[in-house]
Amino acid sequence: MDAMTRQLTGPNVWTAADLESGEPYVRHLTETDLDALDNAFDLTDLIADLLDRLQNGMGYAILRGLPVGTRYTSEEAARIHQTLAERLGEIVPQNRDGDLSVLLEDARHPAQPSGTYASKAGAPFHTDPTDIVSYLCLAPAGSGGARVLASAATLYNSLSREHPEWLDLVSREYATDREGQEPPGEPGWTSRPIFSTNGGGTLTCSLSPKRIMSAMRFEDVPRLGAEEMTCLMYLESLLRRPGTAVHVALRAGDMEFVNNHTVIHSRTGFVDDPSDPDHQRKLRRLWIDIS
């Protein structure tokens, strides 16, 4: 595989330093865009731009400027978010209950499902088992809760320069824990390589170090060897290396889109402001398949 033996270039190869001059991943919604969303007008240009950013650009995009709480209620904003997702592809279930939309809010809320995303602690770096994950921010946290994103191609380039002897390791299949969210009757883990190439020869990534390690709780999952564990720890250290990942603070009304094949993501811990509903973190999440 050619992409596995060369340094990658292109717009999906980036570091935090490349984004210091601005926010190139943000598209500000215009009044024309909002009118189109209001009246179900043609959204071809908006969707084409979003897809281009996700598939041919840096793999990450934010649509900013949806006036939640003024022009739109939370429910109306959620419908707009869903409409855009449906134009991108197919909205798919996120858990064993078949939920197509998951609301992430105060981890103490009785309706909140279990899982890392239900915790106020920082989330580990991971990719999701869908093409695109999208969040609608209805309210940010009082403090913290930044989205943390890194280029998978940049990670691969660092690996190939510093430890080319591990290129074979990352192309092998690894069991990944489904954390109890598998559909009834299916195995609790799935298997896939960390780095591979798609039909067009483009590098694609599936990396969740925590879930790879926790998959060994299943008796039928092969144990990781010392070299494999060291490689995983190295990849994790690359993601946390200063300057690699960009931190993004979502604003109310932001709609975030992440290409899971080219961008690895996490979240910092957060604290809500109990006295201010506008600063109690609330996100609506969708998983989208576009293949």
| Predicted pLDDT of residue 280 | 92
- Write the pLDDT tens digit of every residue in 222-276: 999 999 999 999 999 999 999 999 999 999 999 999 999 999 999 999 999 989 9
Looking at the structure, tell me whether residues 120 and 190 fall in a common domain.
no
Mean pLDDT of 56-60: 96
Q: What is the 3-state secondary structure (H, E, C) of the chain?
A: CHHHCCCCCCCCCCCHHHHCCCCCCEEECCHHHHHHHHHCCCCHHHHHHHHHHHHCCCCEEEEECCCECCCECHHHHHHHHHHHHHHHCEEECCCCCCCCEEEECCCCCCCCCCCHHHCCCCEEEECCCCCEEEEEEEECCCEECCEEEEEHHHHHHHHHHHCHHHHHHHCCEEEEECCCCCCCCCCCEEEEECEEECCCCCEEECCCHHHHHHHHHCCCCCCCCHHHHHHHHHHHHHHHCCCCCEEECCCCCCEEEEECCCEEEEECCEECCCCCHHHCCEEEEEEEECC
Looking at the structure, tell me whether residues 205 and 245 fall in a common domain.
no
Looking at the structure, tell me whether residues 129 and 218 fall in a common domain.
no
Last residue within a domain, chosen from 197, 218, 239: 239
Looking at the structure, tell me whether residues 105 and 173 fall in a common domain.
no
Structure tokens at 30: 């215009």
Looking at the structure, tell me whether residues 157 and 194 fall in a common domain.
yes
Looking at the structure, tell me whether residues 163 and 115 fall in a common domain.
no
CATH number, residue 43: 3.60.130.10
| Predicted pLDDT of residue 196 | 95
The answer, yes or no, to whether residue 3 has pLDDT greater than 90, is no
- Write the pLDDT tens digit of every residue in 164-212: 999 999 999 999 999 999 988 899 999 999 999 987 778 999 999 999 9
| Predicted pLDDT of residue 252 | 97
Query: For residue 235, which of 215, 213, 252, 216 has the smallest C-alpha distance?
Result: 213
Looking at the structure, tell me whether residues 52 and 125 fall in a common domain.
yes
- Write the pLDDT tens digit of every residue in 118-143: 578 889 999 999 999 999 999 999 99
Looking at the structure, tell me whether residues 233 and 260 fall in a common domain.
no
For the chain, how many structural domains are there in total? 2
| Predicted pLDDT of residue 269 | 92
Label residue 21 by pLDDT band (50, 70, 90): confident
User: Is 10 a member of any domain?
Assistant: no
Looking at the structure, tell me whether residues 58 and 188 fall in a common domain.
no
Looking at the structure, tell me whether residues 253 and 138 fall in a common domain.
yes
| Predicted pLDDT of residue 234 | 97
User: Is 264 a member of any domain?
Assistant: yes
Looking at the structure, tell me whether residues 53 and 139 fall in a common domain.
yes
**Tokens 């592809």 sit at which residue?**
89
Looking at the structure, tell me whether residues 163 and 111 fall in a common domain.
no
| Predicted pLDDT of residue 107 | 57
Label residue 6 by pLDDT band (50, 70, 90): confident
| Predicted pLDDT of residue 121 | 81
The answer, yes or no, to whether residue 288 has pLDDT greater than 80, is yes
Mean pLDDT of 27-44: 90
User: Is 4 a member of any domain?
Assistant: no
User: Is 211 a member of any domain?
Assistant: yes
Q: Give the domain range for residue 228.
A: 153-239
User: Is 11 a member of any domain?
Assistant: no
Higher pLDDT, 117 or 228: 228
Label residue 5 by pLDDT band (50, 70, 90): low
Higher pLDDT, 116 or 245: 245
Percent of the chain scoring above 70 in pLDDT: 93
| Predicted pLDDT of residue 4 | 58
Between 1-15, 84-98, 191-205, 253-267, the lowest mean confidence (pLDDT) is in 1-15
